[in-house]
Homo-oligomer: A and B are copies of this chain.
Amino acid sequence: MTSTSTTAQGALVTPAQPASEDVGVRQLLERGRRLSTPALRSAVERLAAPMDTVAAYHFGWIDAHGNPSEADGGKAVRPALALLSAEVAGADAEVGLPGAVAVELVHNFSLLHDDLMDGDEQRRHRDTVWKVHGPALAVLVGDALFGLANEVLLELGTVDAGRATRRLTRATRRLIDGQAQDISYEHRERVTVQECLEMEGNKTGALLACSTSIGAVLGGADDATADALETYGYHLGLAFQAVDDLLGIWGDPSSTGKRTWSDLRQRKKSLPVVAALEGRGPAAERLCQLLTDDAKKSQEQFQEFQESEFAERAALIEEAGGRDWTAEEARRQHATAVAALDDVRMPDRVRAQLVGLADFVVVRER
């Protein structure tokens, strides 16, 4: 892993074919945010009080006291993909806007509920909604965002909007399935790499897949085109998640906004961990022993661990090959994603931007 972990940009993974900076990925993300935020805000304004305020807090538009703020609202990869996908179908980016809003609403519905279910107290360097506004409103506002997502699409009243909503509904159900798997895996002693990939495909892949097809569907693309775009988005999601799992152990807290060894502290069975445990040799054996003992400890005992104890586990995961395997997996998923675009006719600029986005996702800084 030294070759990838010591690149100039501090990236954890380098794709086989890095794109040039010229395709303007940052501008693309910026466009996604610029176009979708006003539409998202006006959708959220439809919510009855106090749900509108709670949602505005979640999105970072106001602080906990209700004062305007400009907190980090996330990378907005999904809206950017939705707008770009309309251009795949030859339509204006704006045609994908209701889709961009809908996927972002569903994404944030799942964040609200997942944070509550997982007991996570921080998101994007701020207290989570249930911490600030209580569990009831976290449930309710999540529900409202879910409903709003369907509403925004269906009120277009077109056949294509119905098709788009159906894809979104399917993706949302997979998102929920993924969270169910995630929760049930927590109570299991052992999870296979295959199970982990399936869970991550549901939790992350399905909605990124839908984000990449929804604008195209609204722009009149046929189902074969939409399916190929979903293949791209799905594998993009898995690449994204593999990188996220690397960042969850070896990421720099100042960029990730999480503590050091974040996923290890949560005893998360992420890809590097499960891949390492499937390895053979003394490092895998020692790791297995340690994690089995860890599982018996209470959350309180575990929180008292020294930095060196997490560092030991991270080193064993790396020695047992979990880090290399995950970085390699990110590259494999990246390649599969990009290859899926071969099946779709689209303007060269749009293709270059989709490839650029895939590169961006994989080469995120730590």
Chain A positions within 8 Å of B, measured between CB atoms, are: 47-51, 109, 113, 116-117, 135-137, 139-140, 142-144, 146-148, 150-151, 154-155, 157, 159, 161-162, 165-166, 169-170, 172-173, 176-177, 179-181, 183-184
Contact of A173 among B142, B144, B165, B183 (CB under 8 A): B144
CB neighbours of A181 from chain B (8 A)? 48
Q: A139 near B140 (CB under 8 angstroms)?
A: no
Q: A180 near B50 (CB under 8 angstroms)?
A: yes
Minimum CB–CB distance from A51 to chain B (whole Å) comes to 5
Which 5 pairs between the two chains have the least Cβ-Cβ distance? Answer: A162-B162, A117-B136, A48-B177, A154-B166, A147-B173
Q: B146 near A143 (CB under 8 angstroms)?
A: yes
Question: A179 with B147: in contact, given A165-B165, A166-B154 (CB under 8 Å)?
Answer: no
CB neighbours of A113 from chain B (8 A)? 139-140, 143
Minimum CB–CB distance from A26 to chain B (whole Å) comes to 33
Contact of A166 among B48, B143, B146, B155 (CB under 8 A): B155
CB neighbours of A142 from chain B (8 A)? 139, 143
Q: B184 near A169 (CB under 8 angstroms)?
A: no
* Copies of this chain assembled into the complex: 2
Minimum CB–CB distance from A169 to chain B (whole Å) comes to 5
A155 to B116: give the CA distance in the assembly, Å: 31
Further contacts, 4 of them, CB under 8 A, given A117-B135, A140-B176: A117-B136, A146-B147, A150-B169, A159-B159
Question: A154 with B139: in contact, given A161-B162, A181-B48 (CB under 8 Å)?
Answer: no
Minimum CB–CB distance from A50 to chain B (whole Å) comes to 6
Q: B166 near A157 (CB under 8 angstroms)?
A: yes
Question: A151 with B179: in contact, given A116-B139, A136-B117, A143-B146 (CB under 8 Å)?
Answer: no
Chain B residue nearest to A110 in the complex (CB): B143
Minimum CB–CB distance from A205 to chain B (whole Å) comes to 15
Q: A140 near B49 (CB under 8 angstroms)?
A: no
What are 26 A-B interface contacts by the 8 Å CB criterion? A47-B177, A49-B184, A51-B180, A116-B135, A116-B136, A117-B135, A117-B136, A140-B176, A140-B179, A140-B183, A144-B176, A144-B177, A144-B180, A146-B146, A147-B169, A147-B176, A150-B150, A150-B165, A150-B169, A151-B173, A154-B162, A154-B166, A159-B159, A159-B162, A161-B162, A162-B162
A181 to B155: give the CA distance in the assembly, Å: 25
